[in-house]
Each structure stands twice: as structure tokens, then as C-alpha cells.
Amino acid sequence: MPELPEVETIKNELSPWVVGRSFTEINILDARLVCGGSVEEVRRGLIGQKVERLERRGKYLIFHLSSGRSLIMHLRMTGSLLLNPKDVDRYARAVFHLSNGHFLVFSDRRRLGKMWLVDDAGVVVCKLGPEPLDESFTPDILEQRLSRHRIPVKAALLDQCIVAGIGNMYADEVLFAARIHPLRKADDLSSEEIRTLHNCIRRILVAAIGNRGASVDTYVRPEGELGTAHFDFKVAHKGGETCSVCGSTIERCVVQNRGTYFCPRCQPLTPRL
């Protein structure tokens, strides 16, 4: 699933191609993609509108339009936004033609992605928690938000209402870097552990953005290239392999129906005193 680093990469790499350009033709091939309106309403609302800027909020990509409205996309598990692909394959759900002659294809193998055209983007993203890379996201803010929840810390990191943008694989990497077991209760972490966790969240996400995201499954960048962030993964998707730090075997458990990878020695369930 595209998480914060992948969506940030898509935003960064699409911006030079789409900002300042207008939509000239919209072909929506799967009506289930559209939320909160009809296909024809979305087409009429987009054609002729200029993209003023692109924004990422959590895992959502937001096109701010000259009309004052916003086109919001959520790629979900297998969605991609492709720039000028050679072929519009059978997974294409929508094609967006631009005034500079280029076009975007929303491709989605499992057809779980969603798209909204709204007057106020807040209608869709209002429940999201703070952005983990914003200056306003401090260790104290993280502690306040985690202290309200007696759930596994892995589940808390996946809850987009607590912190926006962190998904399954980066939650595993962050917890490994912080040496925190994924089943530890969120409200049971010490202030020192939360400071470490906060630092690891920012460090892991910034590094992943620098590596243009992780291509572990279906994620590709807009022009078809792969991201390389997964080459730095220590535990995510590495069940049964050897921990690069201590030599133990990386284990897998299930948290909130999500496969979760951790090192039992580096991330003890009972913290060492």
C-alpha cells in the first residue's frame, strides 16, 4: 500500500508536470472509483480547471483547483498514478488528459482506490491526525495522543486518526528502530521511549522519501521507476530472516489483521531495566 513516503514521492514527481496545467479530457472507466457524486458531475467539475498546487495529507493526494474545489485521491492498496504510460492496461480506472499534452492514468489492480471532487478537502481528511513531519508534531503531542489508547502501539501507529500517513511496513521499521515491541500498549510507553519513537518516525519517513518510497509490491513512481526504500528495511517483510543487528530470527505476528514483523531480542515485549 502506498504510505506517506510513496504518496509524497508521487506528489513531488507529478508537480512539475501538472501544476499550472488544466484538465482537458477526463475518462472515468470505473464508476466505483468516484465517491460522493456521479461520474458526469466529476467530469464537468474537472474539465477546464487548472491545478493550482498538489498537496499530500496523510496517504491522500489533493489536487487544488482554480475553481476553489479539490480533487482528492486515495490509492489504497494497489493504486498507482502513472504519467504517460505506453499502454493503458486493463487495471486503468481513470485517465486524465492535461493541457500540456500529457496524461495521467489511475491504475489499480484490486480496484480499492477512491476519488472525490469536493468544495472543501476537509470533508474527506478532517479526521486525520497530525502530520508526522510537521514542525508542530512534537514528542509531547505524540505522547498525548498515545496515552489515550490502551491498544498495541503498532495498532496505534496504524490509526490514521492518531498520526497520519504511517502504514504497515513503516510502522514495523519505526518500532524496530525504536526497539519497541509491536504488542506493547500505547499508553504504557515511557516518555523516554516516546521521544525515541518520535525521532525514529521522522528519521525513517524522511529516509524513505529520499529513496522515493518502497517498491515491495505494486508501487511504482509516476514515470514507472521503482522506489528503493525497501533496500533499507530491517524487519518489514523479512519474517524468518536473520536480524542484521543481533542475529536472531525475525518473527511475524498479527496486529489488527496486519502481518507484523519484529526482532524478539531487539524488541522485547517486557522492556529490560
Residues catalogued as catalytic? 2-3, 59, 258
**Cell numbers 469536493: residue:** 118
Burial class (CB in 10 A: 0-12, 13-18, 19+), 105: buried
Give 71-138 as a DSSP string. Answer: EEEE-TTTEEEEES-S---TTEEEEEEETTS-EEEEEETT---EEEEES-THHHHTT----TTSTT--
The rounded distance, in Å, linking the Cα atoms of 265 and 250 is: 9
Give the count of beta carbons closer than 10 Å to the beta carbon of residue 247.
Answer: 9
